[in-house]
Amino acid sequence: MVAAAHLSRRPANYRALTPLDFLDRACRNTPDRPAVVWRDGSWSYREFGVVVARLKAHLAACGVKAGDVVSVMCGNRPEMLAAHFAVPALGAVLNAINTRLDAGAVAWILEHAESRHFLCDPGSADVAAAAAAMAGLPLAQFSEDGTSGPDLSLLGRSDETVGELAGAVADEWTPIALNYTSGTTGSPKGVVLHHRGAYLNALGNIASLGLGPDTRYLWTLPMFHCNGWCHTWAVTAAGGVHVCLDKVDPALIIDTIARHDVTHMSCAPVVLYMILGHEAASGWSAPRRVTVASGGAAPTSALIGRMDAINFNFIHLYGLTECYGPTSLRRLDESEMALPAEERARLLARQGVSHLTANMIRVLDDGGSDVPADGATSGEIALTGNTLMAGYHRDADSTHASLGDGFFRTGDIAVMHPTGEIEIRDRAKDIIISGGENISSLEIESVLHMHDAVGLAAVVARPDPKWGEVPCAFVEVKAGHAPTVDELIAHCRANMAHFKAPKHIVFCDLPKTATGKIQKFKLREQAREEAAHP
């Protein structure tokens, strides 16, 4: 068929894909369905729509307009969820900031993002205020209970009406979010995500996790992390309930699961170990089967067995900030669920296959060809498809380097199984994934080199049963100095976010090549050996 002018796109048969449509639909079709639970309160979809409309009005009154960046530093409160709709409803771009960062790192993000307005919750207020002062940016703080006090209060009840949210989005390639990486190769990169990719990844998450109107999703995963892996939009699209949680506390999680009949949650593996190791989990099991999506460290057979005992199912995910969070998953089918725990753990160690609307996944050798699907030959994971970033903010060179050859090369080394499943065998060399957080070994090395006693430092990942892996620093000491382990760890904690500081320090001569380059592969071997035989 020859393309003809009368078959071109028109207003009647084209609408830009945007996750704002999900909330518009819920407010219009199921306004009285429960939408959000937080502390002792609950909000219907109509009431949550009012919260979104109030935040949108506040931002508009502050001069926020299409294309502006709005930064938010907030825990898993209803206002943080509302920001995922209110900010893009103005055509603006949401920049959700890690609440664990220090003021200097936050100020750097605010300045690089060219933020127009900054919002925070009371728990982040001290760091946010210091960062806002450094960046010269206005700051508004949500009130403690969301309904009263001198701060921004959005959660009170009223009979207000909600207009359409999606009307400001005419182009689905419009940026919806600006998420910063953890700076694994130096300074963080600002990943620009568009409405189209967010819409598609949210729908893929619905299909992958089995979300629906009966879903009660517990927010243990930070909403600032890849926009909660797009679940901020996915649960809304499914018509489920967002069960918001102020903090990741095992006793609170267990109580909330039972009290609100939770069906789904997402978290780093360390959260599962926290839950299972808490006294409240002894003899306890969830009232109904809870689907838990997790990424990072592969589950052990012991973990699978203990999750069975408390009525949890495990899904292993894989993704990056650049691909909107999850892009592949491995879940067990009905027949596999009956296998022994050891066999289930072996299967769930894989990162699986791409979900319904996600990217194509290939594993390429050094020449750019697909490796054999033999489960043994290693290559680099490469992605291509609709749920990849538009590019890096204010960084054309890195964008061209990452996307210019038709693929996004992740830096993760994997094999391809005959079933089409990928399984990661190594991480990008300078990334340490600890408790679900990416940590730059280069950043830690830079801080260590600030200490007068450190001559040379190299940081690698050391396996850890609780966190998956933790930073381990190998240090050559300058002549005439004798620093202690505690002294260097305290130095790191004073100059960077505490979670990034090394958990182990080894004093030694660093192995080097003939040209003086540090042989990190030998240090990784040593770290693995010491972890196996502490």
Domain boundaries, the chain: 20-149+173-348, 353-426, 431-532
Residues 6 or more apart whose Cβ sits within 8 Å of residue 55: 79, 82, 83, 86, 154
Tens of pLDDT, residues 73-117:
999 999 999 999 999 999 999 999 999 999 999 999 999 999 999
What pLDDT does residue 184 have? 44
- Of the chain, the percentage scoring pLDDT greater than 70 comes to 97
* pTM higher than the cut 0.85: yes
* CATH number assigned to the domain covering 431-532: 3.30.300.30
pLDDT band at 513 (very low <50, low <70, confident <90, very high): low
The pLDDT score that the predictor gives to residue 92 is: 98
> Over 70: is that where the pLDDT of 354 sits?
yes
Superfamily of domain 353-426: Luciferase; Domain 3 (2.30.38.10)
* CA contacts within 13 A on the Cβ side of 346: 8
**Which percentage of the chain shows pLDDT scores above 90?**
79
What is the structure's pLDDT at 380? 92
Residue among 201, 232, 234 nearest 78 (CA):
232
Average pLDDT over residues 180-191: 75
At residue 244, the pLDDT reads: 98
Which pLDDT score, from 0 to 100, does residue 300 have?
Answer: 77
- Superfamily per CATH, domain 20-149+173-348: ANL, N-terminal domain (3.40.50.12780)
Q: What is the pLDDT of residues 37-72, one digit of tens each?
A: 999 999 999 999 999 999 999 999 999 999 999 999
Looking at the DSSP bridge assignments, the partners of residue 36 are 43, 242
Q: Is the pLDDT of residue 515 over 70?
A: no
Which 3-state string (H, E, C) describes 168-188? HCCCCCCEEEEEECCCCCCCC
pLDDT surpassing 60 at residue 290: yes
Q: Look at residues 393, 388, 261, 416 and name the one whose alpha carbon lies nearest to residue 325.
A: 388
Write out pLDDT tens, residues 480-502.
999 999 999 999 999 999 999 99
Q: What is the per-residue pLDDT across 120-163, written as a single tens digit (0 to 9) for each?
A: 999 999 999 999 999 999 999 999 999 998 899 999 988 777 88
Report DSSP state, residue 340: -
Closest CA to 316 of 336, 337, 331: 331
For residue 517, the model assigns a pLDDT of 66
Phi/psi-derived region of residue 340, left when phi > 0, alpha when psi is between -120 and 50, beta in every other case: beta
